[in-house]
């Protein structure tokens, strides 16, 4: 049985750090406020919106929702982003993606003011992650991976990390963040030949492809740490990760560790999002 890296304790530790900071902001007359911008009513988005609102409420962070119809135009969405940018009472903005295919997603992301880009979607934040300058915010999911490793005391420097998946939401950013922490990082993806040969040699494997239970025991080895970023539904409608958890857990052995899905990185991502809103509010307060 590998060690279970559950998210609850990580979120609690992050929240412990946030509570006094939110109190200090309140004393200064400021309520950290998150704008949630949603186009259409995709069930995934609605589900995450509920989770985020609940978490925000529990922490004393306000949420303003901006809903657009699924057939909204690019101009309508950009007008909402501009309204968020111009509203001093809003400190951070979470935009659900992917946007409808008719929209130019990059243009929308780049319109968001960098100081409110708490999920790291704009070019300024992406450059900050790539160049390791601390500018902007890293994507919350990528940051959640680092919080998970740090909380459970899993070393990164000098370790071999394989990241499966090269998206801008998670694969590439988390690779750069782990590189900045001195890991040796391999980016593997759908075009990689024999990905299992790479992952079996790693100390840490980050699974971020969005393919339900795509990675079975042949991808892993005893003693590894596995971070499963996937939030997928299987054919029976059950929530599951990118890793075939039941088959993989025993392979990792007692020295290994794995994040479950659910109860793993998802909740930590939500809390990291809140932490970014608080940081943005603190910056606006100065």
Instruction: Using CB under 8 A, list all residues that contact a second copy.
Output: 106, 123-124, 126-131, 133, 135, 157-158, 160, 166, 168, 172, 175-176, 179, 182, 184-189, 191-193, 195, 198
Q: How far is the CB of 24 from a second copy (least distance, A)?
A: 30
Burial of 286: CB neighbours in 10 Å, binned 0-12, 13-18, 19+: exposed
Work out how close the CB of 71 gets to a second copy at its nearest, in angstroms, rounded to a whole number.
26
Sheet holding 62-68, edge to edge: 62-68, 33-39, 92-95
Quote the least distance from Cβ 36 to a second copy, whole Å: 23
Considering the complex, state which of residue 163 and residue 257 has its C-beta at the smaller distance from a second copy: 163
Rounded CA separation 281/275 (Å): 10
Sign of CA dihedral 199, 153, 178, 32: positive
For a second copy, the closer of residues 120 and 256 by Cβ is 120
Beta carbon of residue 170, minimum distance to a second copy (angstroms, whole number): 13
Closer residue to a second copy (CB): 26 or 197: 197
As to burial, measured by CB atoms within 10 angstroms (0-12 exposed, 13-18 middle, 19+ buried), residue 136 is buried
Helices vs. strands in the chain: H and E counts, helices first = 10, 11
**Minimum separation from the CB atom of position 142 to a second copy (A):** 13
CB of 122 to a second copy, least distance (A): 8
Query: Of the two residues 187 and 204, which places its CB atom closer to a second copy in the complex?
Result: 187
Say how far apart CA 124 and CA 11 lie, in whole Å. Answer: 27
Tell me 122's DSSP state.
S
The smaller minimum CB distance to a second copy, of residues 175 and 226, is found at 175
Q: Which is nearer to a second copy, 174 or 240 (CB)?
A: 174
* Minimum separation from the CB atom of position 30 to a second copy (A): 29
Sign of CA dihedral 115, 271, 143, 121: negative
- Of the pair 85, 184, the CB lying nearest a second copy is at 184
Which residue, 133 or 250, is less far from a second copy as judged by CB? 133
Cα(234)–Cα(241) distance, integer angstroms? 9
> 104: helix, coil or strand?
coil
At its nearest, how many Å lie between a second copy and the CB of residue 190?
A: 9
Under 8 Å between Cβ of 143 and 129? no
Q: How many CB atoms lie within 10 A of CB 118?
A: 29
Residues in the chain, how many?
Answer: 286
């Amino acid at each position: 049985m590998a060690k279970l890296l559950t998210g609850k304790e990580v979120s609690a530790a992050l929240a412990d750090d946030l509570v006094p900071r939110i109190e200090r902001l309140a004393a200064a007359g400021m309520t950290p406020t998150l704008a949630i911008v949603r186009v259409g009513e995709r069930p995934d988005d609605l589900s995450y919106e509920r989770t985020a609102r609940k978490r925000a409420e529990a922490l004393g962070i306000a949420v303003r929702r901006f809903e657009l119809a699924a057939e909204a135009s690019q101009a309508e969405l950009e007008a909402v982003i501009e309204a968020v940018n111009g509203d001093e009472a809003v400190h951070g903005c979470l935009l659900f993606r992917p946007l409808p295919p008719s929209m130019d997603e990059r243009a929308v992301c780049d319109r968001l003011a960098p100081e409110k880009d708490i999920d790291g979607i704009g070019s300024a934040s992406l450059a900050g992650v790539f160049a390791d300058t601390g500018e902007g915010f890293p994507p919350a999911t990528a940051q959640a991976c680092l919080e998970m490793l740090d909380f459970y005391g899993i070393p990164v420097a000098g370790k071999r990390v394989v990241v499966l998946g090269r998206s801008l939401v998670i694969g590439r950013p988390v690779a750069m963040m782990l590189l900045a922490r001195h890991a040796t990082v391999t980016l593997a993806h759908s075009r990689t030949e024999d990905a299992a040969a790479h992952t079996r040699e790693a100390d840490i494997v980050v699974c971020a492809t969005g393919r339900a239970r795509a990675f079975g025991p042949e991808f892993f080895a005893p003693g590894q740490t596995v971070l499963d970023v996937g939030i997928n539904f299987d054919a029976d409608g059950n929530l599951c990760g990118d890793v075939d958890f039941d088959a993989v857990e025993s392979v990792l052995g007692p020295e290994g560790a794995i994040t479950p899905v659910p109860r793993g990185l998802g909740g930590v991502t939500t809390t990291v999002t809140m932490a970014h809103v608080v940081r943005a509010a603190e910056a606006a307060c100065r």
